[in-house]
Amino acid sequence: MIAFLLIAYFVTGALVVMLIIAVFNAWRFPRLAAGNLNPEARVSLLIPARNEAGIIGSSLRMLQKQDDPGLEILVLDDNSTDDTAEAVRAAAEEDGRIRLLIGAPLPPGRLGKPWACHQLSRAATGDILIFTDADVGWQPRSINAVVQIMNASGADLLSVWPTQITRSWAERLTVPLMALAVLAYLPLPMVRNNRMRQAAAANGQCMAFRREAYDACGGHAAVAGRIVEDIALAEAIKGAGRALRLADGNGLITCRMYCNWSEVLHGYTKNILAGHRNSFLLLGLSTAFHLLIFLGPWLWLGLGWALPWPGRPLWPLILVILGVTVRGITAWATGQRIGDASFMPLSALLMTVIAGNAAWQQLRYGGARWKGRIVSERASAQQAAAIREETPYGS
């Protein structure tokens, strides 16, 4: 009974702390607003694309509506096996600001996205480098909005969380958890404090660097073998004494990451273990923690009548309300469906399945399977160490 009470107090404390952080961050989190033209800003929008023929054309058509006079749009075809390059060439014929780059083969010891972004940075001419994904949608004046908030906040790296478009139940139950992880776990003052390097967050769907700061922190060359290269770059920026800032896309920048459960499963499987420092122990503890705080109170409330668990029904009911409220606040703050917060126990179960799949793929294949490649930080590090003296990065 004492052990049960200790767990109950732990869950209560964790949810109260999460609620306080979520309320503070939802209140203080910057949001993009349609920006005014800045004729002095030279902006390079950089898109790594691998097998994106189904979406890259529509994304570029949205970008053609941007009226920034100093904008260049570079798309790197990362050894695609579909018609990605042809779709980019067609868009480039309509808009001279768009340019297609053909990516060099992936060298041993490198991971695909950092290698593609590194090549893009070498070709870019802008003072501001905005790295974005092929499936991100940019509304008119949204690039102006990014530059405007960078200038206002003094950011050397501004990472924007696009408003996520979710339609299927698999998307609705999992994709908004990215916002939960930031808004409910990481107080903004910790992100802004350069002395707290590990308190870093970023979203690779939109990362805007000042060129000088990007070079000073080593850029993508410094994170060549990192799966969650966005977090690694955020840590590097803080480590270099530069300013990291976050913002919400507020409907000006949008993204539909996945369309069904299969895409959700494989997409999150690629990142989830790396997001836990490639530690099975940390991933297991994180999974247990989320089951405990988001599913446990529901079980306590529903099964307490049959078991000698104290405090029912008021205590577990309060915990259920706290969990739903935390999820609901982060949904409201990021333009998601607030009502989906009531399905948080199911979300925790789905993320448990994803964590299990990531662990199995790591043990079975040595890494996650993604777009025809095995993505493994360990294998990349081993390859890089073996060839470092013979083949320097970027040579």
Q: Which amino acid is at 119?
A: Q
Q: What is the mean pLDDT of residues 155-175?
A: 96
**What rounded mean pLDDT belongs to the chain?**
91
Say what the pLDDT of residue 394 is: 45
The alpha carbon of 323 is separated from its chain's Cα centroid by a whole number of angstroms, namely 22
Query: Could you give the CA distance from residue 312 to residue 298 in angstroms, rounded to a whole number?
Result: 11
pTM for the complete prediction?
0.91
Q: How far apart are CA 293 and CA 8, in angstroms?
A: 9
Q: Which segment of 2-16, 28-42, 231-245 scores lowest on mean pLDDT?
A: 28-42
Could you please report the per-residue DSSP string of 4-51?
A: HHHHHHHHHHHHHHHHHHHHHHHHH--B--PPPP-TT--EEEEEEESS
Q: What average pLDDT does the segment 273-287 reach?
A: 93
SS3 readout for 137-154:
EECCCHHHHHHHHHHHHC
Q: Which residues contact 281 (CB under 8 A, 6 or more apart)?
A: none
The residue that leads in pLDDT, 123 or 67, is: 123
Average pLDDT over residues 11-34: 96
Q: What is the dihedral angle through the alpha carbons of 250, 263, 339, 321, rounded to the nearest 10 degrees?
A: -110
DSSP state of 222: G
Q: Which long-range contacts (CB under 8 A, 24 or more apart) does 303-307 make?
A: none
For the cut 60, the answer to whether the pLDDT of residue 305 exceeds it is yes
pLDDT at 389 over 50: no
Q: What is the average pLDDT across 251-262?
A: 95
For residue 84, pLDDT over 90 is answered with yes
Q: What percent of the chain has pLDDT over 90?
A: 78
Residue 166 is which amino acid?
T
Q: What's the chain's length in residues?
A: 395
Under DSSP, is residue 158 helix (H, G, I), strand (E, B) or coil? strand
Per-residue pLDDT band at 110 (split at 50, 70, 90): confident
Name the least confident of 140-144, 322-326, 350-354, 363-367.
Answer: 363-367
- Tell me how far apart the alpha carbons of residues 98 and 59 are, in angstroms, rounded to a whole number: 12
Residue 64, amino acid: Q
Distance in Å from the first CA to the final CA of the chain: 63
Residue type, 2: I
* Count of Cβ atoms closer than 10 Å to residue 181 Cβ: 13
Domains and their CATH numbers in the chain: 2-26+263-387 (no CATH), 31-258 (3.90.550.10)
pLDDT in tens, 206-245: 999 999 999 999 999 999 889 899 999 999 999 999 999 9
Q: How confident is the model at residue 384 (pLDDT cuts 50, 70, 90)?
A: low
- Per-residue confidence (pLDDT) for residue 70, from 0 to 100: 83
Q: What pLDDT, on the 0 to 100 scale, is given for residue 387?
A: 44
For residues 15 and 325, give the distance between their C-alpha atoms in angstroms, rounded to a whole number: 10
User: Mutual orientation of helices 344-365 and 314-333 as an angle, nearest 10°?
Assistant: 70
